[in-house]
Amino acid sequence: FFMAEAGDIAAWLPARQKFSHKGGHGHALLIAGSHGKVGAAVLAARGALKAGAGLLTVHVPQCGYSILQIAVPEAMASVDAHQLQFSTVPELGPYRAIGVGCGLGQGELASRALGELITKAQQPLVLDADALNLLSAEPSWLLQLPEGSVLTPHPKEFERLFGPSRDSFERLNRLREQAQRLGQVILLKGAHTAIACPDGTVWFNPTGNPALATGGSGDVLTGIITALMAQGLESWQGAVAGAYLHGLSADLAVAATESEESFAAGQVAEWLGRAFKAARAGGSPT
């Protein structure tokens, strides 16, 4: 059991070389959004962009095309064949990490396409939200995930995936066991977000506050973790650092102009720069 600290995060972040180029910071892919939930794709994209993905492509259904290009001009759009939901896995060659699930919906087409993605992907996946719900219905897929994947359930999604727990102690044990069984990283969201690694290690995240209990917050986290992994962090490092920076952004915002009520998920992205700086400076806000 470890508690994440600013020093850890700072040590894991790859130093950017003077001679680096955008390709060197990784190309991240997000598969997100469905009719009525395209905002989730926007929020995940903003998280990935501000967490340092060198290149970012977002795969959205047709109803999300213009929305995404307006809201996040730095991202390229990959447009699905379907008007309303994810139905077709794009060419996966260029990507170093893939985040999937934010606002995806739970349609049959999306389920089939997720299954295909899991089969085809050579890169690690970050699975969130509806991708986890779809996985709950097809638990055999859990053992077919590409190596180095990360699951990011909140407690209800965790329960759907791995069954109920009597208390938080039992849930924590189950978290640890499942990460070992699957050989993947599992990030269990909560007041004390816990990240379990395949080797049995569990990290706790000390940052964050109740302002983050708001719609879209998880979407931004998925974007951040995917971007960190695209930059070369190990999956468990990406998950631990992502949770740390995500929470610290909210802490900084609430210490400045926002209240716990007024903080909106998209603001995590606005404060990420200061969170990176604070982590590098040892955790004290700049």
Region 156-195 residues binding a second copy, contact defined as CB under 8 A: 190-191
Q: How far is the CB of 109 from a second copy (least distance, A)?
A: 19
Query: Which stretch in 133-141, 172-180, 194-202, 205-213 sits in contact with a second copy by CB under 8 A?
Result: 205-213
Per rule CB under 8 A, is residue 42 in the interface with a second copy?
yes
User: Helix 130-137 crosses helix 108-120 at what angle (to 10 degrees)?
Assistant: 90
Answer for which of 9, 30, 49, 194 binds a second copy (CB under 8 A) is 49
151: three-class secondary structure by DSSP: strand
Per rule CB under 8 A, is residue 73 in the interface with a second copy?
yes
Per rule CB under 8 A, is residue 54 in the interface with a second copy?
yes
Neighbours of 66 (CB within 10 A): 12
The count of chain residues that interact with a second copy, using the rule CB under 8 A, is: 72
Nearest CB to a second copy, comparing residues 145 and 241: 241
Answer for which of 180, 280, 283, 285 binds a second copy (CB under 8 A) is 280
Per-residue buried b or exposed e for 87-101, using 16+ beta carbons within 10 Å of the residue's own CB: bbbbeeeebbbbbbb
Q: How far apart are CA 123 and CA 149, in angstroms?
A: 8
Torsion sign across C-alpha atoms 40, 42, 48, 54: positive
Nearest CB to a second copy, comparing residues 92 and 143: 92
Per rule CB under 8 A, is residue 83 in the interface with a second copy?
no
Give the start-end residues of each E strand in the chain. Answer: 2-3, 27-31, 55-60, 76-79, 97-100, 125-127, 150-151, 185-188, 194-196, 202-204
Instruction: Give phi and psi for 31, each to the nearest 5.
Output: -115, 110
Per rule CB under 8 A, is residue 272 in the interface with a second copy?
yes
Answer for which of 4, 30, 39, 242 binds a second copy (CB under 8 A) is 39
Answer for which of 2, 3, 11, 20 binds a second copy (CB under 8 A) is 20
Neighbours of 21 (CB within 10 A): 8
Q: How far apart are CA 38 and CA 54, in angstroms?
A: 23
Answer for which of 1, 11, 66, 147 binds a second copy (CB under 8 A) is 66
Per rule CB under 8 A, is residue 205 in the interface with a second copy?
no
Per rule CB under 8 A, is residue 257 in the interface with a second copy?
yes
Per rule CB under 8 A, is residue 216 in the interface with a second copy?
yes
